[in-house]
Each structure stands twice: as structure tokens, then as C-alpha cells.
């Protein structure tokens, strides 16, 4: 299962030489699965992702099992993959989650904020500012332990209840997350409605706010097929961290569509064509997604996975 | 079935104010269908596309029925839609096809050339130059009748037998098609392997050859999910004609994948977000694709069609 000599690599001046992919399939991808995925399968998935060359693999979430039962095995899973030579960030929703993560030796953690009041209420049962107040001690304690903190920010472009989200509203929450100590922000288009001009407008506003582009990642959903075009716009602005999910696993339960996260394979195809180094072996990654799709009993929504795996038949 | 206030329109400096969509669903989309689509359904499809605001709708092909039996009803179909206030180009593979088209009053025609020897052989049973020689009298006679001629050029980026296609090889055939009188060229990524840098490289080489960007259209396939990112790169280069297929219908039988043409809806979503005028009503277009999918008995592969139609349920 290889892509042969295709795509041809034709670099474009002004784009980054290297992109770091923040792989979210094992956490964001699996958290909404209806079926329970055995812990050993999750561990094997993470091992295969690492073997395919991914270097940042979000492993799980230390959320209360009542809210995300699919990831209730975090304590069992994390030690099974902890010795892999890759970064394994974990989501921590609050101080209790941080305690659990720190106890296992995790030092790369992520919090999950919202740019809109409606989603903060739906997802966290708090206002935006109440959620930020909850994250404050999480971030400061993680930093005090020598950790690295990523701040996810969801609904950065549109919200299913509120419609288009004003750029200044997003910038304000980014500022707050940076001020409390987040090393990195992940700008989420949770319902997939962003287009390239909107992406550019937000990144330009964050420049003006003095938030360095090196501290930004982008997290696009492919609900309307826009994720790669938006990624291109972000690369043209200097972004070098891109979130993606192997095989296109997962998505947002509030975005009523069959498709969710940008598929890592579709991203790697474009980056390979642009001559941008990711360190990822596309054949091994595609094989991993085909294997995971078999575990889940349904095909990958990734166009690249479908095209490359079809060639083998 | 509407997109509500989304996406938010955020224009980008340097992009065109208006894009003309060359809708290929009725011809390119339906020609590979296994099921026979009744002529009245095709006519209704074209009428609905026009009502949704599309102004260039490729109607059918005057190819020999032995090769494309799905379009054997061209003589019946064309007069049924001929009075619509839109451009209705038709494909003509040779002089016999041109005779049939001219007899019905068609004056916008298209020929279908190949950038590679392998595809010329597979599709036309000729060398590239033999095919060009066959088109020469077709183009000159159409022009003598006051017609407008589009030259499709397939396999502009990669070929399933030959791999990546060198840019100069594509430029040579573009030059030949222009020299014989083609008003417009459509640059086809028939197997969907192009990436934005490759698109830019071909467009830059065509600039250097003196072929005006106004005479170029782009025709991307979404086999690897790259079509919209490639379209963005083409818009950034000044291209204002983009081929797409309502609902993502059709594709190339030589590209072994479930997905083919860029879906018109996914394109319109991006253009609307970029504040680029297309004249298309996205709600009406999506409803048309949902209706056509019902006629064909299978769902649209367009992500936008799926997302918008799901919202209605």
C-alpha cells in the first residue's frame, strides 16, 4: 500500500519546510465511538501511528468516565504506550484530571476551552469565563511541574447555535489562554464551516495581538470539504502545526454530519506534494487506518485512504 | 435546505471578484453511470441546475453511442433544454459528432485531448498527436460556424500508467490546442493527484508560454481530497473558470476510487466564504443534487450536500 511516485513534489516559495502533525485520532477520534474499543487495540493503534512516523500523538483524556466512557481506560492505556519515543499529550478537563495524568508521569497536557457561550454551556456547563477560571489552576500547576500545555479553543469560526463567530471574540479567549500560560493554542473549526479568508483573518488578528504563529496550531473539520483549503491558507500564513486524525476518525457530536476531523492521510498527501517534510510514511499510515477501520467495522471517510487501499484490491 | 448565515464571507485581497463555474454533472457526471438515466430526468436535471443559478452547463456528448451508451440520447436531450437562458456546451469527439451538434444548433463545443500517450491510447486509441490531428478540422469548422471551442486536456498532473506528468509535456499540448483555435482550455487532473504547488507550476509555465489565464479553466478531481486546495491555488494565480459537478457526480473510470469530480456545492461553499460571486443559490443547488441522488439510488459524495441535507432531517 504505497502512493508510488505520486504526488509529485513541487515546493512553493514561502511555505514552511516542515510541518508537525498533531495526531488526534486516538483521543478525539475514538471519544465519540459508540462501540467500546478494547484498551489493547487503542495501544496498538498508537504504536502503529508512532511506527508510521507521527511524533505527536494525543493518547487519551483524563475526563470523568461518566462523561466520556469510551476513554475510561486512560489509567490502563497510558502506561502501555508511555515508553514510545514520541510526545503523548493527554486531555485534562480539570484539576482532578490533571492529578490523574501527573500521577502517571504525563507532562504534556491539554485543556479544552470554547470561543462561544453556547458551546461552553453545552460542553462544559459553564460560561466561557467560568471555564477559563477552571483551567487557570490546571495550567499553572502543569507548568509548575515542568509540563507543556496546549489550549484547545473550539468554535473559532462558527457555532451551531450562534452562527459566525466574530474574530475579536476568539482573540479575547486566545489572549486569556496565553496569559494563563498555555504554550500552544489549537484553533478549532469544530463544525467545519471555515473558509480560507476567515482563517487568514483570524491569524492576522492574532498576529496583531502579539501571539506568535509558532504557538498556534490549526484544527479543521472536513464537514463541508474545506479542511485542506483552510490548511493551505494557514500554511501560507506561517502556521507549522496542524491537527489531523488518522483515517478521518471522529468529529464533533454537535456537527450533524458524517464527516469530522481532517484525515491525516489527506493532509500528508498535500504536504508531500508541496515538498513539506512531515516524517510520515503514507503507506504505513494508510495501512494503520485500514486496520483501525476493520476494528471499528466501518470504512474510513478519508479520500486518500479509500483511493490508496482500493488500489490494492 | 439553506446554509443559514454560514459560511461568513471574508474576502481575500488578490482573488477574483467573480468565478464562472463550468458545470459538468450532466455530461461528465452521468456518462459513467451504470444505470440508464431517462432523457426527461436529464433534462429536468439541467433545468434545475439553471434555476439554481449555474450559467454554463455542459449538456451532453455527441460521441458514438457504442462508446458512451449513457449519452446516446443527445439528439433527443439537446432540443429539450436548448431554450434555457444559459450556455450549454456539448462534447464532440470528432467531425461526425460536430455534424450532429451543429445540425441541432449547438455552437459551444468541446474536444477532449490527452497530455499523455498512455491515456490517449486508452481513451482515443491514438497517439497524442494523432488525436490533435483529428481535432484540428473539428475546431476549425466550429470556429468557422461562429462557435466557441473548449479544449479539455486530461492527465495534466499525473497518469495512472506513467506517474507524474512533466509540466513541459502539458504545455506543449496546450500550445497545440490554442494554435488550432481553442478559445478555452480546461486543465484536467483526471486521477486527482495534483497538489497546490504543482498547479501553480503548470499555471506559471502557461503564463511563460503566453497563454492568457482568462483562457484557462481548471478541472480537479477529489480522489485524494485535494480538489479545493488546488482550486484555491488556481484562484490565487488568477484563474476565474472552475469546472465542478453538482453533488460530485461522476469521475474517471481509470481512477480506481469512489470519488471523482469536485462537487459544485463544496466549491460554492468556499467561494461564498471568500466573498466571490458565482450567482449560484447553494440551497437550490443542494436540493437538486439530493433529487438527482434519489434518481440514481445512491447518496451524493459531496460533503456539503451531506452536511446541508442532514440538517433538514
Q: Which residues of B touch A164 (CB under 8 A)?
A: 5-8
Distance CA B175, CA B171 (A): 6
CA distance A268 to chain B (A): 10
Between positions 116 and 145 of A, the ones with CB within 8 A of B are none
Q: How far is CA B133 from the centre of its chain?
A: 23
CB contact under 8 A, B196 and A11: no
Between positions 232 and 261 of B, the ones with CB within 8 A of A are 232-233, 255-259
User: Could you give the angle at which helices B117-124 and B128-144 cross, rounded to 10 degrees?
Assistant: 70
Complex prediction ipTM = 0.94
Distance CA B176, CA A117 (A): 59
Helix (H, G, I), strand (E, B) or coil at B105: coil
CB contact under 8 A, B270 and A6: no
Burial of B66 (0-12, 13-18, 19+ CB in 10 A): exposed
Q: What does the DSSP 8-state code read for residue B9?
A: P
Q: At the top level of CATH, which class does the domain A22-311 belong to?
A: alpha beta
User: Could you give the angle at which helices A39-51 and A74-81 cross, rounded to 10 degrees?
Assistant: 30
Q: What does the DSSP 8-state code read for residue B15?
A: S
Instruction: Give the chain B residue whose CA is nearest to the CA of A262.
Output: B225
Q: Which of B8, B270, B310 sits opposite A226 (nearest CB)?
A: B270
Q: Strand B20-23 and strand A241-244: pairing?
A: unpaired
Tell me, yes or no, if A174 is annotated catalytic: no
Between the CA of residue A223 and those of A70, A189, B300, B301, what are the distances in Å?
23, 10, 14, 12
Q: Which residues of A touch B229 (CB under 8 A)?
A: 228-229, 231-232, 270
Q: Strand B148-154 and strand B108-114: pairing?
A: parallel
Q: Write down the pLDDT at residue A188.
A: 98
- CATH code of the domain made up of B21-266: 3.20.20.70
Per-residue pLDDT of chain B (313 residues; tens, 9 = 90+): 444 578 999 999 999 999 999 999 999 999 988 878 999 999 999 999 999 999 999 999 999 999 899 999 999 999 999 999 999 999 999 999 999 999 999 999 999 999 999 999 999 999 999 999 999 999 999 999 999 999 999 999 999 999 999 999 999 999 999 999 999 999 999 999 999 999 999 999 999 999 999 999 999 999 999 999 999 999 999 999 999 999 999 865 444 444 689 999 999 999 999 999 999 999 999 999 999 999 999 889 899 999 998 754 4
Domain boundaries defined on chain A:
22-311
Amino acid at each position: 500500500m504505497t502512493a508510488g511516485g505520486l504526488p509529485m513534489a513541487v515546493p512553493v516559495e514561502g511555505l514552511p519546510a516542515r510541518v508537525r502533525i498533531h495526531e488526534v485520532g486516538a483521543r478525539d477520534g475514538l471519544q465519540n465511538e459508540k462501540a467500546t474499543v478494547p484498551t489493547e487495540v487503542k495501544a496498538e493503534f498508537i504504536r502503529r501511528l508512532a511506527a508510521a512516523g507521527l511524533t505527536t500523538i494525543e493518547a487519551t483524556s483524563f475526563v470523568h468516565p461518566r462523561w466520556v466512557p469510551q476513554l475510561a481506560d486512560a489509567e490502563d492505556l497510558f502506561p502501555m504506550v508511555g515508553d514510545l519515543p514520541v510526545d503523548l499529550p493527554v486531555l485534562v478537563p480539570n484539576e482532578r484530571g490533571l492529578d490523574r495524568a501527573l500521577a502517571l508521569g504525563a507532562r504534556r497536557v491539554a485543556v479544552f476551552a470554547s470561543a462561544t457561550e453556547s458551546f461552553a454551556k453545552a460542553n462544559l456547563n459553564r460560561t466561557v469565563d467560568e471555564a477559563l477560571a477552571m483551567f487557570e489552576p490546571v495550567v499553572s500547576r502543569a507548568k509548575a511541574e515542568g509540563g507543556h500545555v496546549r489550549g484547545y479553543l473550539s468554535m473559532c469560526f462558527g457555532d451551531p447555535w450562534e452562527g459566525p463567530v466574530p474574530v475579536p471574540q476568539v482573540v479575547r479567549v486566545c489572549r486569556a489562554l496565553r496569559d494563563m500560560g498555555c504554550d500552544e493554542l489549537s484553533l478549532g473549526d469544530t463544525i467545519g464551516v471555515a473558509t480560507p479568508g476567515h482563517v487568514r483573518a483570524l491569524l492576522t488578528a492574532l498576529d496583531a495581538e502579539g501571539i506568535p504563529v509558532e504557538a498556534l496550531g490549526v484544527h479543521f473539520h472536513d464537514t463541508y470539504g474545506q479542511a485542506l483549503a483552510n490548511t493551505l491558507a494557514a500554511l501560507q500564513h506561517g502556521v507549522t502545526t496542524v491537527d489531523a486524525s488518522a483515517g478521518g476518525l471522529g468529529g464533533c457530536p454537535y456537527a450533524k454530519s458524517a464527516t469530522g476531523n481532517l484525515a491525516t492521510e489527506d493532509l500528508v498527501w498535500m504536504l508531500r506534494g508541496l515538498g513539506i517534510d512531515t516524517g510520515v510514511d503514507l503507506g504505513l499510515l494508510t495501512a494503520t487506518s485500514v486496520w483501525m477501520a476493520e476494528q471499528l467495522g466501518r470504512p474510513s471517510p478519508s479520500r486518500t485512504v479509500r483511493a490508496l487501499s482500493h488500489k490494492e484490491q
